Every structure is written in structure tokens, then in C-alpha cells.
Amino acid sequence: VSTPVLWTTVSVARAGLARRTASARPLVLVPTMGDLHDGHLALVRAGRELGDVVVSIFVNPTQFAPGEDFERYPRRLQEDLEQLAPLGVQAVFAPTVEEMYPRGESTRVEVHGIGDPLCGRHRPGHFVGVSTVCTKLFVILRPRIAVFGQKDAQQCLLLHRLVRDLRLDLDLVFVPTVRERDGLAMSSRNRYLRGAEREAATVLSRALAAGRGALEEGEREVAGIESVVAAQLRRGGADVDYAELRSVPDLDHPARAAGRMLLAVAAHVGKARLIDNLCVQVEDLTVREAPLLDEHTPAAVRARWGVADEEGKESTT
């Protein structure tokens, strides 16, 4: 067990990467904003199976809208490094704001369309901040693989589009959401929940289950399913930003549910703004939980990279 190497500047990171040998395993980036929990550690473990992992820890100011929690977002670098120590990551890239956004900078990366609905509507500028910082991380660290959590499903779809549009030589992995025992999706913002709010926050996963229940009973009208979910959130005392059922991968808003669909919710519980989602494959008579994008599951990416799966066999799809 050894604390990972810490890179705090772009030049030190580049020098560290230059020392990698040509035969090294693929470089895998796990971008985070720190305050690591088991959800992040699942991303790191998925990354470790694929190659040498660099974790970035950077609370990115440009993805916080005015009045959001940028200032009070938890920053716990030392604890994060300790948590990563047993996982065998190559390095942690934890730059300052000035390092990522040098004085006088004025460049942004914008993916049109897909960042507009859902969180984009409630967090102006958020996705421009996300696509800008991720592009910077991809350019600075030049990973071959990058791992993200499916809890941020809209972010995953946006980055999928960005990688495709910019023709980046980068394979994305989307890891299923890690939940507490009572269903609450793990998030650094769960720290903001006080007393009874912690239990109240389970209403997000319960509301998603109610939406899924409606689909299983044969409801296909998107508006009907959304109202079931929103009503459950409100009954649970949450202040709803949105409860929407949209198509994957384009996040269109059809009148009827069919094919791969994302049921996504965002709601305030106490001082915490929480998001959660459920991805389902909707057929005429059946509904099943499904990955966001089949070709970006950890198993699919392992198969693409010829990495032995959990049973120790080489995957061959």
C-alpha cells in the first residue's frame, strides 16, 4: 500500500507521463472532483482492470452556476489520497484552478443540444464547464480510456458525443451507479443531508422505482409516467427540478416510451440538490433495466481491449 504520486501541475503530469514505457498498459483516466466515496472507488476499480489509472481531483469552477455550492464543495485531498492508496493507482492529478484556467483564458468547449434539457435547464453553463474541463483533462493527460459514473447519465451522453465529434482516440466506460443499502445513489452531496433528510432522500430511488412500475404495468405515455414519478417525489417532501423520461442517446422527449429510455430525476432535499436515474429498454410488452450505452459498459470495453473478464477468461465478443 503506497500513497499515489501526486501531480499538481500540467508540466509535472506531462513529465510523469513521458516516463511511461511504450509497452505500458493503456492509460485510464478517472476524472473526479474529489471527496471520494465508494461510487468513485468503483470507477477506479473498473479502470484498474483496463490499464494504469490516473485519478484527477479538481473541483471545476466553470461547471458551477452562480449561487451553487462551489465554495462549500467538500475538498479533502489527504483523505482522498489515503483512500486511493490500496487501489494501486499510478498517480493523482490535482491541479489548482490557475493551472487549469490560466490567467486571461477564454476558451470553452460546447456540445450543442444534448446539454440543454434536464440539468442543463436548471444549471446554466454547467455542461459547458464539464465539456471544457474534460477536454482539458483529455488533452493534458492523453488517456486511451476514461471512466465515468452512470449516475451522471446526461454527462456521460454529452461526453460520448464530444469524443465522437472531436474524433478523440478515447474509449469511454460508464459504470453502473453505486447505491447505499437503502437505495440512495452515492454522491458527495449526500454530505449536505442533515438528520431526517438522509432518510427522506431515498425518495429519489423510490420515485424511479414507481416510474418503472408504471412502465411494467403497460403505461407508455411519457407524460403519465413522469407525473407518477414527480408525484412520488413531492409526496416524499422533495422540491422537484425535473422528473423526465427521455430517449437515449439523444435525450429527445417523445410522447410514447419505446426503445432505450432514461428516466431521470433531480430534486432538492434540504440543502442538497440530488440527481438519480434509471435506464430501461422498453418494448411493447416488456421493460428491463439496461446500460446507458451497451458498447460502453465495463464488460464491453474489457472485451474491446482483450482484457480477461472476472472469471479469468479472455473476453471474445
**Residues of the shown chain interacting with ligand PAF in the complex, contacts defined by CB under 6 A:** 31-33, 60, 63, 130, 133-134, 152, 155
Query: Is 220 exposed, middle or buried (CB count within 10 Å of its CB: 0-12, 13-18, 19+)?
Result: middle
Taking the CA atoms of residue 183, residue 186, residue 188 and residue 194 in that order, the dihedral angle to the nearest 10 degrees is: 20
Q: With respect to ligand PAF, which residue has the nearer C-beta, 63 or 90? A: 63
In the complex, least distance from residue 58 CB atom to ligand PAF, rounded to whole angstroms: 6
Cα distance between the two ends of the chain: 35
40, 126, 160, 296: which one is catalytic?
A: 40
Asked whether the beta carbons of 311 and 301 are under 8 A apart, the reply is: no
What gap in Å lies between CA 229 and CA 236, rounded to an integer?
A: 11
Q: With respect to ligand PAF, which residue has the nearer C-beta, 31 or 51? A: 31
Q: With respect to ligand PAF, which residue has the nearer C-beta, 63 or 232? A: 63
What gap in Å lies between CA 316 and CA 54, rounded to an integer?
A: 27
Strands 272-282 and 259-269: antiparallel
In the complex, least distance from residue 188 CB atom to ligand PAF, rounded to whole angstroms: 8
In the complex, least distance from residue 159 CB atom to ligand PAF, rounded to whole angstroms: 8
Q: With respect to ligand PAF, which residue has the nearer C-beta, 123 or 212? A: 123
Question: Does residue 40 carry a catalytic annotation?
Answer: yes
In the complex, least distance from residue 290 CB atom to ligand PAF, rounded to whole angstroms: 21
Q: Within 13 Å and on the Cβ side, how many CA atoms surround 228?
A: 20
Q: Which residues are catalytic?
A: 40
